[in-house]
Structure 1
Amino acid sequence: MTHAHPHRVERGSRARLSGLAAEESVARHYARSGRAVLAWRWRGPGGEIDLIVREGARLVFVEVKASRSFEAATAQLGRRQMDRICRSAEAYCGEMPDGALTEMRFDLALVDGQGEVRVIENAFDGG
C-alpha cells in the first residue's frame, strides 16, 4: 500500500481550499452583477464545471483558475480541458427546456494572489 508524501497531501489540500475560495470570490463577482449561480462543481460526462451561471436566457459555464498572477492562472487552461468542459456543458444543456439550442457562453475567471477577480468572457472561442 502506498501513501502520499505528507507534504504532497498538505499542498493538495491547500490548493483545494484556495480553489474553493477562488470559486466563492468568482460566484460573488457574478452575483453582484445580478447573475444567479445555478450550480457549483457540476459533474458531467466530460468532467467538472466550476460554476454555471444564468445571465438572462444564456447559461454561462465558468472555469475558475487561481494563481499568483493572472498570466500564470491563464496558462493553466489547456485545449483538452476546454473540450471536456464543453462536453459537460452540452450534457447540462440537454437537460434544459431548449436543449442543444440553449444559448451559452464559456468564461475563464482568474483569481490572482491578492484575490482580485478578472473574467475573460467567451474565453474558449477560437482556441
Structure 2
Amino acid sequence: MAARQRATGAARSPDGDIVDARPTRAQAQGQLAEDLAARHLAANGLRLIARNVRCRGGEVDLICLDRNCVVFVEVRLRTNARFGGAAASITEAKRRRVLLAAQWWLTGQGRRFQGAACRFDAVLLDKPDEAHIIWLRAAFDAG
C-alpha cells in the first residue's frame, strides 16, 4: 500500500482514506492565477499577508495590505468566456463566501487589523499570464 501511495502521489486524509495529493489541472491553473495576481499586486505596492484563507462556508484567495487598508482579493481565471468570463463568475454567493472568510480571519489571525479600513478587490485573468490581468479595486463592498 505504501508503495502505491508513493508511486501515485497519494496521501492519507486525517480519517485514514487514501486520497490523490496531486492537484487537478484546474487547481494547478488556479494556483498559477493566484501566483500571477500576487506578483501583480506586489508590483503595485500591496504586501501579501495571507493566502487561501478558508473557514466553514467561506474562502478568500489573497489578503494584502495597501498602506493601512486590508485588501481581500478574489482571483478569477476564465479561459472561456462562454459563461460570461471572469467578472461574471463573481456571483452574490461568491461575495458572501469572501465576506464570511474576511470576517472570520479578522477575528482570528488578522485580529491586529480589526478596525482598519477594508476593501474587496478582484483580479481577473482571461489567460494564465501577466499580460491579461485586470485588477478591479473595490470590486464589491461588504454591504
Q: Shorter-chain TM-score category? A: 0.7 to 0.9
1:76 aligns with 2:92: no
Q: 1:19-65: CA deviations, max 9, x gaps?
A: 00000000000111221111110113432210000111111000000
Distance 1:114 1:14, change over 3 A: closer
The higher radius of gyration belongs to 2
Aligned to 1:123: 139
Greater RCO between the two (CA within 8 Å, min separation 6)?
1
TM-score (ref. length: structure 1): 0.80
Tell me which of 97, 103, 109 is aligned to 2:112. 97
Q: Which residue of 2 aligns with 1:9?
A: none
Superposition RMSD on alpha carbons, in Å? Answer: 2.3
Q: Is there any run of 5+ residues in structure 1 with no aligned partner, and where? A: 1-11
Query: Residue type matched to 2:69 in 1?
Result: R
Give 1:51's aligned amino acid: L
Deviations 1:88-109 (A, max 9, x none): 111212232352x221000111
Q: 1:66 aligns with which of 77, 83, 100?
A: 77
- Which structure has the highest strand share of the two? 2
- Report the number of matched residues: 116
Aligned with 2:75: secondary structure?
Answer: strand
Distance 1:87 1:36, change over 3 A: same
* Cα separation, partners in 2 of 1:112 and 1:122, compared to 1, 3 Å: same
* TM-score, normalisation: structure 2: 0.72
Residue identity opposite 1:97 in structure 2: R
**Cα pair 1:46 1:86 within 8 Å, conserved:** no
